[in-house]
């Protein structure tokens, strides 16, 4: 039974995994709980008043069918997040975290090749005169050397752009060429916007944290178990959402940060929808073509 002021609703149900997620709202806070099926054994986490803020109230333990439970006590009102991670999820998260830690290195042949591949995917048939060239400004980099713009998000931001260009070429070209809608005289720079979107998603998913701290991250980890490229797909969705928000607001360059914030809000809203179990289930995924 819920106490006064609480409301509970199921926001995830995975019968194939024997897992349910529910969320309880308590005076503005959220308690995210994932419970195993009755056949699974799971040690209970104590959450007494003597627990300290931001402390784990349960040690990660292999339980039941190889699942892990991590529980948290957050600052302020009582809030606890329980996440069961399979070995596959943990491995995919490890690989994604590794990608996020790789800095762009212009001296590495594989990074040079990725940059050349981005050019070829963006401008098929057009010769690139060099990795440092005024041509890069056409794509929306700040200067002749795009490597200077990767500092904020690293090599993964280049991988995201390349994934977008190859997987959804029509949407990529439409946004690159600023087609559709009433455009501002001072538009956002396409490539630099892409780097900022990568950084925004990394912050939103809180993937750098050693322990899960948000329900958004819990939802994303489930999606990652469905598709190893969930982060890259989410990036593509974020880019088209950002462009739509830009057009809806008749925004100009100086409003880019505000548009990025509203984009994040929209993504978070969609990721928490009851029937969104994969990135492809997000309503805004339909904007991609």
Residue whose token pair is 């991590």:
70
Average pLDDT over residues 242-264: 94
- For 159-170, the three-class secondary structure string (H helix, E strand, C coil) is HHHHHHHHHCHH
Kindly report the average pLDDT of the chain as a whole number: 77
Of 3-12, 118-127, 168-177, 248-257, least confident by mean pLDDT is: 3-12
Average pLDDT over residues 127-138: 95
pLDDT at 95: 94
Question: Which residues, listed in sequence order, are joined to residue 6 by a DSSP beta bridge?
Answer: 26
More confident position, 211 or 108: 108
Question: Which two structure tokens, joined as six digits, stand for 8?
Answer: 């509970």
pLDDT, one tens digit per residue, over 31-40 is: 344 333 333 3
Residue 255: pLDDT over 90:
yes
255 burial type by CB count under 10 A (0-12 exposed, 13-18 middle, 19+ buried): middle
Q: Contact, 216 vs 272, CB < 8 A?
A: yes
> Residue 255 to residues 131, 143, 252: CA-CA distances in angstroms?
30, 21, 6
pLDDT at 46: 40
Of 5-9, 80-84, 134-138, least confident by mean pLDDT is: 5-9
pLDDT at 83: 60
CA 213-82-99 angle, 5° bins: 50
> Residue 179 to residues 126, 160, 174, 186, 275: CA-CA distances in angstroms?
20, 21, 5, 14, 31
The pTM of the full predicted model, rounded to 2 decimals, is 0.75
pLDDT, one tens digit per residue, over 224-244 is: 988 999 999 999 999 999 999
Question: Which two structure tokens, joined as six digits, stand for 156?
Answer: 């993964």
Closest Cα to residue 193, out of 147, 152, 134? 152
pLDDT at 76: 44
Q: Contact, 219 vs 12, CB < 8 A?
A: yes
CA dist 105 and 111 (Å) reads 6
pLDDT band at 173; cut points 50, 70, 90: very high
pLDDT at 284: 97
- Which H helix or E strand runs over 56? strand 56-58
pLDDT, one tens digit per residue, over 69-114 is: 444 444 444 344 556 677 888 899 999 999 999 999 999 999 999 9
Residue 283: pLDDT over 50:
yes
pLDDT band at 155; cut points 50, 70, 90: very high
Spatial strand order of the sheet with 29-36 comes to 6-14, 19-26, 29-36
Of 47-61, 74-88, 129-143, least confident by mean pLDDT is: 47-61
CA dist 178 and 174 (Å) reads 6
- Cα 29 to chain centroid, rounded: 22
pLDDT at 280: 97
pLDDT at 82: 57
């Amino acid at each position: 039974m819920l106490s006064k002021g609480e409301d509970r609703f199921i926001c995830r149900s995975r019968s194939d995994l024997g897992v349910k997620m529910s969320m309880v709202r308590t005076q503005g806070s959220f308690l995210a709980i994932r419970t195993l099926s009755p056949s699974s054994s799971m040690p209970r986490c104590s959450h007494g008043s003597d627990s300290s803020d931001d402390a784990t109230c349960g040690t990660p333990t292999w339980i039941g069918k190889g699942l892990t439970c991590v529980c948290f006590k957050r600052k302020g009102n009582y809030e606890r997040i329980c996440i069961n991670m399979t070995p596959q999820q943990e491995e995919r998260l490890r690989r994604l975290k590794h990608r996020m830690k790789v800095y762009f290195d212009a001296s590495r042949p594989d990074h040079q090749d990725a940059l050349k591949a981005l050019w070829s995917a963006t401008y098929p048939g057009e010769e690139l005169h060099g990795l440092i060239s005024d041509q890069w400004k056409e794509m929306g980099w700040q200067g002749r050397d795009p490597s200077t713009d990767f500092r904020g998000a690293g090599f993964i931001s280049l991988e995201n752009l390349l994934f977008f260009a190859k997987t959804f070429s029509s949407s990529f070209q439409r946004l690159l060429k600023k087609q559709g809608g009433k455009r501002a005289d001072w538009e956002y720079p396409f490539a630099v916007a892409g780097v900022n979107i990568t950084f925004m998603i990394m912050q939103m998913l809180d993937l750098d944290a050693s322990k899960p701290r948000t329900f958004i991250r819990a939802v994303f980890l489930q999606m990652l178990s469905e598709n190893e490229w969930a982060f890259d797909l989410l990036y593509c969705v974020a880019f088209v959402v950002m462009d739509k928000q830009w057009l809806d607001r008749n925004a100009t360059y100086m409003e880019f940060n505000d548009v990025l914030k509203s984009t994040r809000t929209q993504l978070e809203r969609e990721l928490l929808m009851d029937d969104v179990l994969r990135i492809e289930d997000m309503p805004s995924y339909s904007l991609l073509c």
